[in-house]
Amino acid sequence: MVNGFKPLLKEITYQIVMERSKGAHLTDLDGNDYVDALNGFGMSLFGWQPDFVLDAVRTQLDAGYEIGPQHVLAGEVAELFCDVTGNDRAALCNTGSEAVLGALRIARTVTGRDTVVVFSGAYHGIIDEMIVRGTRTHRAVPAAPGILRNTAEHVVVLDYGTAESAQWLREHADELAAVLVEPVQSRRPDFQPVEFLKDLRAITAASGALLVFDEVVTGFRAHPAGAQGMFGIQADLATYGKVVGGGFPIGVIAGKRDYMDALDGGDWRFGDDSVPTVGVTYFAGTFVRHPLALAAAAAVLKHLKAQGPELQARLNQRIGAFVGDLNRHCAAVGAPVEVRHFASVWKTFFLEDHPLQDLLFAMMRSRGVHILDNFPCFFTTAHSEADFARIGDAFKASIDELQDSGFLPRPKATTQTVMDSSAPKIAGARLGRDPQGQPAWYAPDPEAPGQYVKVEV
């Protein structure tokens, strides 16, 4: 399967099949080297096969990867996770999609309500209930074949970041189990509606609905505490994945104790009459808390804790400079293209519609950059200055080639005649403008006293 298949580009559409990788580089089956701009759809923050993850996984591989019994690393990972992110409790699963499913199940369990709000443009994984699009009445309908219509009957889709959506929520919040939000959408990284998010926090807190942040992409990439830490907004629940797995499949649900207790009933002790006090929902899986994923996650969390927020701050600063350089080039050559970013996420936007503009990505691939058409891109701490330069040079050269080939426009050339009013072409002439607005000399008309005629030069 090839995402975004277009018949016009069919003959240059192909998968790049990788043989090995290390750091920011990939090598395909033919021995071609690529610097990676995609980085596992945001999964990689440290490059491929970072040594601190490899060492931890090799140690665990030798010790075993049994499934079923509780693993010694499970508690350590949960504790480290809460320490780094500031959450009360954390529960582990296999993917970000599973984490979203679990968070919605918790929200409906603790509120006793059914309806969930999501926002247009967000991506919340592959569960049927989240593959939806909105209608004029805000009700959701399936956005892909094979999904039953009734899976979305308790989902409302609103526009993201608008005053109208905030007003709708104020009027209906008492009916909601949760408001699920991707705080910075990976498909629109430049849109960061912090005041809207603060409104969501106030509205949900007042109504008893849960505010759920989907931090699968933003978690650990923007800040150790994700978008919540960057914006200073604490959600009730949050979902995570990608970066924290260190290259292994993982998902995490984390949040406030009162809600997380719905997964296991809450605290109880041996030797007394204590019992789980919270009604629980069901959430489990054979490969939940897989030992190799736990080992990788523990190594990642220890690394993040040791590095502190400076890790993300340094990388984010480098991205800002990189994006600025690309946009200056596009402006200088008059290409209707712009790169936008949030933290270390960046995406290319076409400001006009031209049939073959997507050749940009094929041209970048031909120059040794691993990138997918119109997908958000991500940088890692493994990218060197030479890697940044290689991606930037490939982007700029590809823009130039698209213009040279006529697939992207150049600004129309304009010529402006500069005339010195103190040096008329003939005696007595004056400067004026012709009917087209261009400067021209006008001399007295010998056949019509007091009138002037244009001097042709």
- How is 122-180 classified by DSSP, letter by letter? ----S-GGGSEE--TTSB-EESSTT--GGGGTTEEEE-TT-HHHHHHHHHHGGGEEEEE
pLDDT for the residue numbered 416: 55
- Residue from 240, 242, 261, 396 carrying the catalytic annotation: 242
- Residue from 123, 128, 256, 452 carrying the catalytic annotation: 123
Active site annotation includes 214: yes
Q: What is the pLDDT of residues 57-87, one digit of tens each?
A: 999 999 999 998 889 999 999 999 999 999 9
pLDDT for the residue numbered 419: 67
pLDDT for the residue numbered 25: 98
User: Which residues are 240's β-sheet partners?
Assistant: 252
Token pair in block for residue 338:
């712009």
- Integer Cα distance of 39 and 32 in angstroms: 17
Active site annotation includes 445: no
Q: Residue 301 carries which side chain, given as an amino acid letter?
A: L
Give Cα 153 distance to the centre of its chain: 27
Q: Residue 76 carries which side chain, given as an amino acid letter?
A: E
DSSP state of 261: G
pLDDT for the residue numbered 268: 81
Query: In sequence order, what are the residues at sequence separation of 6 or more whose Cβ sits closer than 8 angstroms to the Cβ of residue 156?
Result: 115, 116, 117, 118, 134, 138, 139, 140, 172
Q: Tell me the helix, strand and coil percentages in the chain, rounded to 5.
A: 40, 20, 45
pLDDT for the residue numbered 438: 72
pLDDT for the residue numbered 116: 97
- Residue from 34, 160, 199, 214 carrying the catalytic annotation: 214
pLDDT for the residue numbered 417: 56
Active site annotation includes 242: yes
- Integer Cα distance of 237 and 215 in angstroms: 10
Q: Which residues of the chain have pLDDT under 50?
A: none
Q: What is the pLDDT of residues 193-233, one digit of tens each?
A: 999 999 999 999 999 999 999 999 999 999 999 999 999 99
How would you classify the pairing of strands 132-133 and 141-142? Answer: antiparallel
Give Cα 235 distance to the centre of its chain: 19
Residue 45 near residue 24, CB atoms below 8 Å: no
Indicate the SS3 state at residue 225.
coil
Contacts 24+ apart (CB under 8 A), 366-369: 367/393, 367/394, 367/397, 367/398, 368/32, 368/33, 368/34, 368/35, 368/394, 369/34, 369/35, 369/37, 369/394, 369/395
State pTM to two decimals: 0.86
pLDDT for the residue numbered 241: 96
- Integer Cα distance of 296 and 402 in angstroms: 42
Residue 61 near residue 292, CB atoms below 8 Å: yes
- CA geometry: angle at 12 spanning 327 and 8, to 5°? 85
pLDDT for the residue numbered 266: 84
pLDDT for the residue numbered 418: 63
pLDDT for the residue numbered 136: 85
